[in-house]
Structure 1
Amino acid sequence: MTARPPLKAILFDLDDTLWPIAPVIAQAEVTLHAWLAEHAPRVAQQFSIEELRARRMALLASRPELHVDLASLRRAGLQAAFAELGEDERHLDGAMRHFSAARNAVKLYDDVLPGLLKLKQRLVLGTITNGNADLEVVGMAHHFKVSLAAAHFGRAKPAPDIFLAACAALNVAPAEAVYVGDDLKLDVEGAQRAGLRAVWMNRSGSDAHLAAGIAPDAICATFDELLDWLENQLAY
């Protein structure tokens, strides 16, 4: 068996890898609905948070290209509701700004920042996300040399293009990089098909990889476990 080259770079998913996202989105949607009640009251009165979500999912089914840009999906959903009820669409920008601010109010898992600081001493760091977190707003952009988002790149995970582009931007071969993410299909399988090693960040202890038939290069429940695994790789 041919030995793999030493690792030079580590790339991360964002949502549910560096921070939990479900409570953030839930709170952002509550604050957005309250904002709509003040600035676009007909929309807030006609549609609950759940109904607005269902309308977005229906819109996504008819416009699958919006998978790569979740902010555009949300805006399109709101725009349709505004138009249907005769609300002033000039408030759309304000609604999106309000949601974005709340959506970026994330709280890192406790082990993430100490782990990143250790990793930066030995590897070059980057991120790839299908989401719409703004690392500048979050205050984490300075930790990463490259950050690719599907909405700006035009292709989303698990497409190999976005993994390969990140590696090229870091000036490393795919075999010299490892990707860390929580989603078996998008993150693990996507990265491996692009030629990267892939670590499944499995904080819940799930055994879903068995049923999915996916074999991560490593399964880690914490950043400490990730650091331990990296110690055994050829770069260490």
Structure 2
Amino acid sequence: MTIRAVVWDVDDTIFDYTTADRAGMSGHLAAEGLLDGYASVGQALDRWRELTDQQWARFAAGEVDWAAGRRDRVRAFLGQPLTDTDAEAWFVRYLSHYETAWALFPDVLPVLDLLAGSHRHAVLSNSSLRVQDHKLRVLGVRERFETVLCAAELGVSKPAAEAFHAACDALELPPHQVAYVGDHPEIDGRGAAEAGLLSVWIDRTGAGTAAAPDPDAAPDRRADQRVDRPRRIVSLAELPAILRPDTRFGAPSTFG
């Protein structure tokens, strides 16, 4: 089966989010005089990431909107009942440090260039369009993608099959003609596979494996699709070989 389009995750897939987040928060905490409140910079950064995950879960559940969630993240991190104005101002100061550290992974542009003539490209992210559109423009790659879809506007987030199918529908392609590339083995890898896409999990650390998708876990997936195991890669340089041709049927899995 021919793969005609690639849908991409953004953070820690094409954009080095972890490095930027840690560098940005480290610089921000130093500027705010807050590092002495933690045993180490790493401890402070781990706490910030923990709160980021918590607030995302609240947002995904519809408990808060995007702006309220990030203000609550600041309040929880500082342990202070800040006003909305003060919490927002603190977050904006953090962003000024964070954005200076933004960068694509070095394997991104080469593979986008290589696939530009053979495959269409789109983005599906568990974020907001305002955040990711701005990020992609700053990174200089927004024009590489036909469309950018985000959970905040879709009203559904990965790993739900509806999120992946929304991306396929935007491209006017069936799931079996679309590949999805993401860094999370469950949210991206399992989710895309169970939605009927060719799932490619980029494991940049080379450290992990994930369970195979459960064929009974997604009863709403398109009826004409079989569930396949995600393809595990450690560099995007491996992606073209998976896409040309699509080797899902009859070839050994590279997952694990």
Distance 1:220 1:55 in 2: 28
| 8 A Cα contact 2:190 2:230, kept in partner | no
What are the residue-to-residue correspondences of 1:31-42 with 2, within 5 Å? Answer: 31-34=27-30, 36-37=32-33
TM norm structure 2 = 0.71
- The runs of 5 or more residues in structure 2 that have no matched partner are 214-227, 248-256
Report what 1:99 is aligned to.
Answer: 94
CA distances 1:38-88 after superposition (whole Å, capped 9, x unpaired): xxxxxx499657569648857976994324777653321224678945x56
Distance 1:165 1:56 in 2: 28
| 8 A Cα contact 1:82 1:89, kept in partner | no
Structure of higher RCO (CA pairs closer than 8 Å, 6+ residues apart): 1
| 8 A Cα contact 2:58 2:69, kept in partner | no
| 8 A Cα contact 1:60 1:73, kept in partner | no
| 8 A Cα contact 1:35 1:95, kept in partner | no
| 8 A Cα contact 1:82 1:88, kept in partner | no
Name which of 234, 237, 244 aligns with 1:221: 234
SS at match of 2:240: helix
What are the residue-to-residue correspondences of 1:160-199 with 2, within 5 Å? Answer: 160-199=161-200
Of 28-37 and 176-185, deviating more is 28-37
Amino acid aligned to 1:152: E
- The runs of 5 or more residues in structure 1 that have no matched partner are 38-43
SS at match of 2:186: helix
Report what 2:125 is aligned to.
Answer: 129
Of 11-20 and 185-194, deviating more is 11-20
Distance of aligned partners of 1:59 and 1:221 in 2 relative to their CA distance in 1, 3 Å threshold: closer
Report what 1:41 is aligned to.
Answer: none
| 8 A Cα contact 1:66 1:73, kept in partner | yes
Distance 1:97 1:54 in 2: 19
Distance 2:12 2:57 in 1: 23
| 8 A Cα contact 1:24 1:106, kept in partner | yes
SS at match of 1:148: strand
Amino acid aligned to 2:117: Q
> Percent sequence identity over matched residues?
26
Report what 2:254 is aligned to.
Answer: none
Question: Would you say how many aligned residue pairs link Structure 1 and Structure 2?
Answer: 221
Distance of aligned partners of 1:9 and 1:108 in 2 relative to their CA distance in 1, 3 Å threshold: same
SS at match of 2:6: strand
Distance 1:59 1:21 in 2: 13
Distance 1:25 1:128 in 2: 20
What are the residue-to-residue correspondences of 1:74-89 with 2, within 5 Å? Answer: 74-79=70-75, 84=80, 89=84
Report what 1:40 is aligned to.
Answer: none
